[in-house]
Structure 1
Amino acid sequence: MNIQPQCTNHLVKSEDLNHHGTLYAGRTAEWFVEAGFIAAAKLTNPENIVCLKIHGMQFSEPVRRGEILHMESKIVLTGKTSLVAYIQALRHDKLLLYGFITFVHVNKSGQPTPHGITIKATSAEDKTLQEQARNLSR
């Protein structure tokens, strides 16, 4: 299966701000995990997906009230039971935030179980992301 990006958008509202008047990192983390989860849920039953680890969420600049954050996520690497998502957030096509999340496919008892999904990177960008995902600490 080829890598397929998923997109979500969020309008930054007053309740999303921190004491500096910029987007609160906790709210961003919520949206970040949600975006990664959506990418994983497009490939397997959402009831079988749990978040194992956020491998980093790197900001390049602040986000302010009234701005629209465009989140793009895609599963770039699969293991026997794992799915690794790359997530980036943009404003007007400028990268503001990026990182990786590992999700695990589980059974009804919460035990890791094989998902049978294989991802193929075809673009140079996706091949680079896949290699970066391979080098993440689990």
Structure 2
Amino acid sequence: MRFFSRKLIKPEDLNAHGTLFGGSVLSWIDEESAIYVTCQLNKGNIVTKFMSEINFVSSAGLGDIIEIGMETVEFGKSSITVRCEVRNKFSKDTIIKIDEIVFVHVDENGRPRPHGIEEPQNE
């Protein structure tokens, strides 16, 4: 797994308990995974189709730095599946794990279209 992106946890990222709001981190994951997949396919026009179970393992607090890691799991004809881990930059404690995030390459009408890639590209 390669960790590409880091975020500083700010007051607006916290929930009512003073810890990292799950919705914020899920938004960051969706954005980071879309960027990762676009780079893998070397083309845009992708949509998020599926996320497997989201495993909230631990949390983060104000001032913590987290990093978002991505790894390619599988290439389909028009899809690509990745896995994600978010962890604390310094303690390396896992915050969230998602084993499968599936993206589909689509045409201008939103229909699945073969992407023509079989192996990961340079990240």
Q: TM-score, normalised by structure 2?
A: 0.87
Please provide the CA RMSD for this pair.
1.6
Tell me if the contact between 1:6 and 1:39 (Cα under 8 Å) persists in the aligned partners: no
Tell me if the contact between 1:80 and 1:115 (Cα under 8 Å) persists in the aligned partners: yes
1:123 matched to which residue of 2?
A: none
- Match of 2:47, SS state, is strand
**Sequence identity, in percent?**
30
Structure (1 or 2) with the greater helix fraction: 1
1:115 matched to which residue of 2?
A: 115
Mapped partners of 1:89, 1:6: distance in 2:
9
Cα deviation, residue 74, structure 1: 2.2
Structure (1 or 2) with the greater strand fraction: 2
1:101 matched to which residue of 2?
A: 101
Tell me if the contact between 1:88 and 1:96 (Cα under 8 Å) persists in the aligned partners: yes
The answer to whether 1:27 aligns with 2:24 is yes
Unaligned runs of 5+ in 1: 121-138
Tell me if the contact between 1:39 and 1:75 (Cα under 8 Å) persists in the aligned partners: no
Cα deviation, residue 31, structure 1: 0.8
Q: TM-score, normalised by structure 1?
A: 0.78
Mapped partners of 1:50, 1:73: distance in 2:
17
Q: Deviations over 1:23-76 (max 9, x none)?
A: 111101101111211210112212x11001111221111111111110011222
Mapped partners of 2:3, 2:113: distance in 1:
24
Classify 1:83/1:41 alpha carbon distance in 2 versus 1 (closer, same or farther; 3 Å): same
Query: Counterparts in 2 of 1:52-131, with a 5 A limit?
Result: 52-91=49-88, 92=90, 93-99=92-98, 100-119=100-119
**Pairing partner for 1:36 from 19, 33, 54:** 33
